Structure 1
């Protein structure tokens, strides 16, 4: 009888311990994967876009203040990527095509940021943008040459970039939305094109309603 009670008690301890680990590991049951938990934390914290200097495909240099007063829809990539990046940018292009022209460039800009600045110089970025119908203005492609600035941005936005010995990178991919004040307000699944476009349009429509 005593042995049976001990077994029951031991089982309860295991269940409670496992429950606690699951709660912590899923960010309070909001996430079933570490990636989802990471995204939830980013959205909760809403990190500010750090002070970096972009150099875009036109060779122009500026900071995030270039887009002050506008939403910025962002991807992170490198042009030598042959796996996820082409699909990421193609999906970016599809979202871009769904945004009403009245908002484009006035209320929102699209920005693809390379984390491989040594190879992705303005000439390379200029060629690459042509594959996805980026106009270089309302949708720009840029690099951040300063390693410390680049790393600060990647860290702030939870972008994981791991180089290998062949010059490639393992990295996570998503759409990142920065608000008019320069804070990250959402991280969206890049595979869900319609959902991402709808969310962005809803935000822009709401903003337009406030101003009218």
Structure 2
């Protein structure tokens, strides 16, 4: 009887210890994967888009201040990707089509940023944008030629990019939303197109109500 009681107490202690570890490892039960924990941390910290120089498909160069006063809806891609990037951009195109037309370019700019600047020059980005019917203005595609600046942005936004020996990259994918002041305010599941479009509308409409 005493032995069974000791065994029960031991099992309870193990269970409690396991729950404590799980609580710590999941940011208080809110994050069940490393990716979810990463997104939760980003939304809490709200990093500012760093001062980097982008070059778009038209050969224009500018910083994030180009879009001051507008929301910027962002994806990170490389044009040589034959898997997830295609789906990511197809979904971005669907979000674009769901956002009220009057918001495009005025309240919200769509921006796809390549993390493969050596191969994704303006001419390549120009061809790539046509695959998704990007107009190059309200939805722009750009690269960051300077590696240190690119790494700074990827770092701040928690974008993981791992090159292989065949010129490809393993990387995570999401929709990123930068507010009118250049601060990251949301990271969205790129598979949830309607939800993302609704979220964009809510941000703009909330601003309009506060005017």
Quote how far apart the aligned CAs of 1:178 are: 0.3
State whether structure 2 residue 138 is matched by structure 1 residue 138. Answer: yes
- Greater CA drift, 170-179 or 18-27: 18-27
Partner of 2:158: 158
Quote how far apart the aligned CAs of 1:5 are: 3.4
Partner of 1:28: 28
Match of 2:103, SS state, is: coil
Q: Report the TM-score, using the length of structure 2 for normalisation.
A: 0.97
Unaligned runs of 5+ residues in structure 1 are none
Partner of 1:172: 172
Partner of 1:115: 115
Partner of 2:201: 201
Match of 1:102, SS state, is: helix
| Runs of 4+, deviation exceeding 3 Å | none
Quote how far apart the aligned CAs of 1:98 are: 1.1
Report the Cα distance in structure 1 between the residues aligned to 2:36 and 2:8, rounded to whole angstroms: 34
Q: For residues 18-55 of structure 1, give each alpha carbon's deviation from its aligned partner in whole angstroms, at most 9, with x where no partner exists.
A: 10111112111112111111111110110111110000
Report the Cα distance in structure 2 between the residues aligned to 1:192 and 1:105, rounded to whole angstroms: 22
Quote how far apart the aligned CAs of 1:100 are: 1.2
RMSD, matched Cα? 1.0
Report the Cα distance in structure 2 between the residues aligned to 1:209 and 1:133, rounded to whole angstroms: 32
Report the Cα distance in structure 2 between the residues aligned to 1:10 and 1:209, rounded to whole angstroms: 57
Task: Report matched runs for 1:1-212 at 5 Å.
Answer: 1-211=1-211
Aligned length: 211
Report the Cα distance in structure 1 between the residues aligned to 2:60 and 2:25, rounded to whole angstroms: 44
Q: Report the TM-score, using the length of structure 1 for normalisation.
A: 0.96
- Greater CA drift, 7-16 or 190-199: 7-16
Q: Is the 8 A contact 1:25 1:34 kept in 2?
A: no
Report the Cα distance in structure 2 between the residues aligned to 1:172 and 1:4, rounded to whole angstroms: 49
Report the Cα distance in structure 2 between the residues aligned to 1:76 and 1:208, rounded to whole angstroms: 29
Quote how far apart the aligned CAs of 1:208 are: 2.0
Quote how far apart the aligned CAs of 1:8 are: 2.3
Quote how far apart the aligned CAs of 1:9 are: 2.8
Q: For residues 64-115 of structure 1, give each alpha carbon's deviation from its aligned partner in whole angstroms, at most 9, with x where no partner exists.
A: 1101111000000000000100110010001011111211111110000000
Report the Cα distance in structure 1 between the residues aligned to 2:98 and 2:9, rounded to whole angstroms: 58
Report the Cα distance in structure 1 between the residues aligned to 2:20 and 2:167, rounded to whole angstroms: 41
